[in-house]
Amino acid sequence: MKIEFTKMHGCGNDYVYINSANVQIAQGEKPELVRKLSDRHFGIGGDGVIFIHPLGKKELRAIPGIHKDMRRQPDERQGGNAEETADFEMEMYNADGSRAEMCGNGIRCVAKYVYDKGLTEEKSIRIVSCGKVKYLDLTIEDGKAVSVKVNMGAPVLRAEEVPVLSEQEEAIAEKIEVEGKEYEMTCVSMGNPHAVVFLKEWEDLDGFAIEETGPYFENHRRFPKRTNTEFVKVIDRHTVQMRVWERGTGETLACGTGACATAVACVLNGLTEEEITVKLLGGELRVRWDRKENTVYMTGPAAVVFEGTAELDL
């Protein structure tokens, strides 16, 4: 099978992107395909694979998880109406072949892909992933999308909805024991589960043993669907540094939903203002939790690495 692909990244969080209009792959074959393409030695290499599906209104209504209450409300600025849902679907997989709900860096790259490839001329678009619609505004330079602002929606804090096993309604600064060491975590869902852990002033984030600790958090019994874990060092009221262990992938250079969860956790713990810069291994993201709207906004870059054709046996 020959598969046309585009390798893209947002702050170093890299995925292989495939336009479903160009190739038909059976659902049952996708996990194996994802594992092969994601392999950094024998494949293209990436944190996973994202399939892009252009949508028509009839197709939208056939997607499991799309319900009337998720449809976009009229928005004069965007020119939307209550019957619209999304323009494109993002079908995302982790490097291990498992399905993922959302990726903030990945969805920005999807927006850049569809604009740069001429699949849309709109600078404000809607993308659905696992039944949840996100709204994106593109910054264009010389006919190309260079930066994307994403309305990531409201953070989910109820423990049972994150999900995380907790005796509290919300797991904020809650203690957890991992391999004999006690940590404090704040759990947030941004469409996928996150456990945010703040390091102490004297702890060094650069030297933190994330490869040893991350897997134990990911597979801890308190996370029914496993979890992404952010290890965070607060620099000042407007800036934090973050490393992330992603569920199904391992440490990545960036995580958009993780940066959003971190911003929410910072505010909940009184550590920063509502808008912060999140410094990641692969770059920086700007995140704002508008508490009045209860909406998280994330802005960051999206870039193409290379394009090509992969020939695989499935």
Catalytic site residue 255?
yes
Catalytic site residue 266?
no
Of 92, 85, 119, 123, the residue nearest 106 (C-alpha) = 92
Q: Which residues of 125-152 are buried (b: 16+ CB within 10 A; e: fewer)?
A: bbbbbbebbbbbbbeeeeeebebbbbbb
Task: Give the tokens for residue 158.
Answer: 């109820």
Catalytic residue among 11, 109, 187, 255: 255
Is 266 within 8 Å of 234 (Cβ atoms)? yes
Helix (H, G, I), strand (E, B) or coil at 49: strand
What are the angstrom distances between the C-alpha of 119 and each of 19, 50, 88, 113, 122? 11, 16, 10, 8, 9
Is 158 within 8 Å of 313 (Cβ atoms)? no
Which amino acid, one-letter code, is at 4? E
Task: Give the tokens for residue 21.
Answer: 């209009």
What are the angstrom distances between the C-alpha of 228 and each of 88, 94, 248, 268, 311? 25, 12, 9, 19, 32
Catalytic residue among 103, 109, 187, 266: 103
Task: Give the tokens for residue 87.
Answer: 């323009």
Task: Give the tokens for residue 90.
Answer: 């993002």
CA distance linking residue 259 with residue 10, whole number of Å? 12
Asked if the peptide bond before residue 224 counts as cis, ω within 30 degrees of 0, the response is no
Any idea which residues carry the catalytic annotation? 103, 255
